[in-house]
Amino acid sequence: MVAATANRNALRTASTMPRDQHEVRLPRFSRLPTTNYRLPFRKGCPVKTLLAAAVALVLTMPALAQQTNMNESMQKLETELVAKYGEGQRARLQRGMKQVAAFWRAEDGDAAAFEDVVRTHFAGDQETLDALFNRMQFILESIYGHMTEISRDLQWQSDLDLGTVYPFDEVLAGYTPSAHITDDFFDNKIAFIVLLNFPITTLEERLTEGENWSRRQWAETALALNFSKRIPSSVNLEVGKAAADASQYVATYNIWMHHLVDDKNNRLFPAKMRLLEHWNLRDEIKANYSLDPKVGLPKQRMVQRVMERIVDQTIPDAVVDNPHVDWNPYTNDVKPAAVNDSEGEGRPAPAKLTNTREPDTRYAKILSTFRASKLVDPYSPTAPTHIQRSFEEGRQMLESRVQSMLEEVVSSPLVPRVAKLIEKRLGRKLEPFDIWYNGFRSRGAYTEDQLDAITRKRYPTAAAYKADMANLLVGLGFTKERAEYLSANIEVDPARGSGHALGSGRRGDNPHLRTRVGKDGMDYKGFNIAVHEMGHNVEQVFSLKHIDYYTLQGVPNTAFTEALAFVFQAKDLELLGLAKPSAESRAMQTLNDFWGTYEIAGVALVEMKMWHWMYDHPDATPEQLKTATVQIAKDVWNQYYAPVFNKKDVVLLGVYAHMVNNFLYLPNYPIGHLIAFQIEEQIEKNGNLGAEFERMAKYGSLPPDQWMKNATGAPVGASALLHATEKALTVIK
């Protein structure tokens, strides 16, 4: 799961989990906790949703009459304060007053109250400005840091393997103590004092002017961004409600596989198999590559047909999560179930069985998340659409940049070469579902059982892992001094779940590595995850405790911390003293990642285009959105996939459940792959993992291109992935 600290914040909005199996958790709130559309994520999957409850929407934008009064006030104050502080302060003052006025509401007071704030709190000399800047760095660290600790304590029992979780523990874990900080800071005028004195910038300004900024200027900008929106809690609740509602739809969208029948009435899938759209359906396609094609191929084709009917909503409404109905996805016929394999789960049998299609509910849910997001627009002046907030605040990257990077991958001349290789390995022509081909894997030198035996013996408890952590870090390439320092600054706890990394929010507190240790010790999977999470924790130590300004702490976005964690994870066998992966298995991994990036980049492009369509057609009906999305999915397919798959008008790129409830999250995955390859390439080139990791991690949460230029000399881009793929193609033929 991800939430975030002060400035690892918005950034981490959008957690990216490029290789599914791990999770990183940061403190529970984002920059300031109003922005509920920053969804916390759990384990490679969906949103753990937000507060739900509806409250009538009260719009509280400044009234026109008040605006006129404020304009008069601003002119008066400009004359007065320029006389006091000198001509040099005019531009700062003008900008600051405008920023305050943009967020001022009737309940904040009349023109006299506005004048009072400006007159009292404008820092017109450097000494006062420095004092304000330093105080806010100190205070934000204290607030975010302690809020992190409080949240960690509230979730202590439910997160850790410490015995019974009582119902009251769940209530405690669900409480977010920081929920009202933003409101409080506007109420007590602290937010206005910051807005009066420090510049809010758009990403475009940061990218064009930032090249010449000092670290202090970046830190000032980051400070002001904490207050760049003031979303009424009623709006946040609407967003939370839409997200919760869409998540509920996604969470129960199961297909009962034993009830799929082919034209000869065969059931291809085992009893009780219930697959969630789209994750489990996709993973079933992947799992079937290991079967005899005579068995696997018909199953894969059938899953594809199910997915297509979900995207175009020709799926009979009666078959969704219903074990009482048999369904032929080719003819779309439905019949009462001839076998019973459920034990009261799923929806009840329909009173009257028809194959009436699902009434575009999927698209109705998407529209409701769009409309809720749109309510935020007027309160977010520097990023007034959800698309901008997602890219420019969440990722700190312009959408146009991301789009061209994704297009570079999907139109790469390497795609047909890798496709040929897949056809050769499959011994047949590609079919559309082969976008999920997962056969690039080499047989490991050790069995899972052998590995389990090694790790169980070595790590009978979480404490044993902690005791060995400095050795592991030396094994990764840190000096003894650094390894011992890091080990002393990371706590290790026994996790209830599979493990996660929980960052700290202030320098006096340590990040926590949560690791799963079974009764008979830590199994290999647990060890592999622990090493990954340790990568997050080491990043967290450097990017918080070694940062020059608190508001710059963290990394640009979640993809970066994931990429750094993968660097650790890839070395887990070496850390056990076993042989490192062969050149062949590394090449296989690269091809696997390349093909996965090709797939998910297309999915992301579809979601991006869908959001633009919704902004262009805000009053669309669910049916109109469906028609448009199906067309978008076909268009992207026809442009970048049809030439490789020799089939047109496939809609599979529209199947991801993230599109329903995750608010434009999907682009994180392909970006995460690209970043991971860049970081891995740099560390490999330099050879000194410990020193390179530290140098990269302590740069802070500047925009990705700046961060990457500092780390590798080049901005974020596809070239490292493409280069590695080209090389892998010379190894695997």
CB of 567 to Zn ion, least distance (A): 11
Residue pair 178/29 in contact by the 8 Å Cβ criterion: yes
- Residue 654 backbone class (left: φ over 0; alpha: ψ -120 to 50; beta: rest): alpha
Stretch that binds Zn ion, among 24-32, 72-80, 173-181, 263-271 (CB under 5 A): 24-32
CA distance 684 to 81: 56
CB of 23 to Zn ion, least distance (A): 6
Pair type for strands 491-494 and 41-42: unpaired
Stretch that binds Zn ion, among 221-229, 382-390, 512-520, 560-568 (CB under 5 A): 560-568
> Which sign, positive or negative, has the C-alpha torsion 658, 664, 666, 669?
negative
Stretch that binds Zn ion, among 23-31, 151-159, 368-376, 709-717 (CB under 5 A): 23-31
Residues 485-544 that bind Zn ion (CB under 5 A): none
Polymer length in residues for the chain: 733
> Which sign, positive or negative, has the C-alpha torsion 298, 289, 675, 492?
positive
Task: Determine if the peptide bond prior to 723 is cis (ω within 30°).
Answer: no
CA distance 8 to 701: 6
CB of 394 to Zn ion, least distance (A): 17
Stretch that binds Zn ion, among 141-149, 282-290, 523-531, 564-572 (CB under 5 A): 564-572
CB of 490 to Zn ion, least distance (A): 15
Nearer to Zn ion, 410 or 501 (CB): 501
Write the secondary structure of 242-253 as one string of H (helix), E (strand) and C (coil).
HHHHHHHHHHCC
Number of Cβ atoms within 10 Å of the Cβ of 566: 22
CB of 565 to Zn ion, least distance (A): 5
Nearer to Zn ion, 245 or 562 (CB): 562
CB of 154 to Zn ion, least distance (A): 23
Q: Does 8 bind Zn ion (CB under 5 A)?
A: no
Pair type for strands 274-276 and 512-515: unpaired
Nearer to Zn ion, 24 or 655 (CB): 24
DSSP 8-state secondary structure symbol assigned to residue 409: H
Nearer to Zn ion, 501 or 660 (CB): 501
Residue of 149, 70, 147, 148 lying closest to 114 (CA atoms): 70
CB of 524 to Zn ion, least distance (A): 18
Stretch that binds Zn ion, among 253-261, 431-439, 563-571, 592-600 (CB under 5 A): 563-571
Nearer to Zn ion, 22 or 609 (CB): 22
Q: Does 22 bind Zn ion (CB under 5 A)?
A: yes
Residue with tokens 């003052």: 93
Tell me the residue ranges of DSSP E strands in 78-127.
none
CA distance 198 to 195: 6
Residue pair 561/701 in contact by the 8 Å Cβ criterion: no
Stretch that binds Zn ion, among 16-24, 120-128, 263-271, 328-336 (CB under 5 A): 16-24
Residue of 175, 2, 17 lying closest to 559 (CA atoms): 17
Nearer to Zn ion, 246 or 501 (CB): 501
CB of 142 to Zn ion, least distance (A): 28
> Which sign, positive or negative, has the C-alpha torsion 261, 267, 268, 273?
positive
Nearer to Zn ion, 24 or 606 (CB): 24
Nearer to Zn ion, 20 or 623 (CB): 20
Pair type for strands 333-336 and 325-328: antiparallel
CB of 5 to Zn ion, least distance (A): 16
Residue pair 59/246 in contact by the 8 Å Cβ criterion: no
Helices (H), 262-316: 279-287, 293-311
Nearer to Zn ion, 19 or 365 (CB): 19
Residue pair 197/129 in contact by the 8 Å Cβ criterion: yes
DSSP 8-state secondary structure symbol assigned to residue 521: B
Nearer to Zn ion, 23 or 277 (CB): 23
Stretch that binds Zn ion, among 15-23, 95-103, 682-690, 693-701 (CB under 5 A): 15-23
CB of 724 to Zn ion, least distance (A): 21
CB of 22 to Zn ion, least distance (A): 4
Stretch that binds Zn ion, among 58-66, 234-242, 557-565, 683-691 (CB under 5 A): 557-565
Residue closest to Zn ion when measured from CB atoms: 22
Q: Does 565 bind Zn ion (CB under 5 A)?
A: yes
Stretch that binds Zn ion, among 177-185, 222-230, 561-569, 623-631 (CB under 5 A): 561-569
Buried b (16+ CB within 10 A) or exposed e, 210-236: beebeeebbbbbbbbbbbbbbbbbebb
What is the size of the binding site for Zn ion (CB under 5 A)? 4
CA distance 37 to 611: 15
Contacts of 631 (CB under 8 A, 6+ apart): none
Q: Does 24 bind Zn ion (CB under 5 A)?
A: yes
CB of 533 to Zn ion, least distance (A): 7
Measure CA 373 to chain center.
17
Nearer to Zn ion, 513 or 628 (CB): 513
Structure-block tokens of residue 55 = 């409250």
CB of 16 to Zn ion, least distance (A): 9
Nearer to Zn ion, 530 or 565 (CB): 565
With 0-12 / 13-18 / 19 or more C-beta atoms within 10 angstroms meaning exposed / middle / buried, residue 570 is buried
Residues 34-93 that bind Zn ion (CB under 5 A): none
CB of 500 to Zn ion, least distance (A): 8
Interface characters, 397-436, with Zn ion (x: CB under 5 A): ----------------------------------------
Q: Does 206 bind Zn ion (CB under 5 A)?
A: no
Stretch that binds Zn ion, among 86-94, 166-174, 565-573, 684-692 (CB under 5 A): 565-573
Nearer to Zn ion, 260 or 559 (CB): 559
CB of 562 to Zn ion, least distance (A): 5
Nearer to Zn ion, 279 or 645 (CB): 279
CA distance 494 to 324: 42
Stretch that binds Zn ion, among 17-25, 261-269, 338-346, 405-413 (CB under 5 A): 17-25
Contacts of 338 (CB under 8 A, 6+ apart): 326
Residue of 193, 211, 209 lying closest to 201 (CA atoms): 209
Nearer to Zn ion, 24 or 614 (CB): 24
42: enclosing H helix or E strand = strand 41-42
Which residues contact Zn ion (rule: CB under 5 A)? Answer: 22, 24, 562, 565
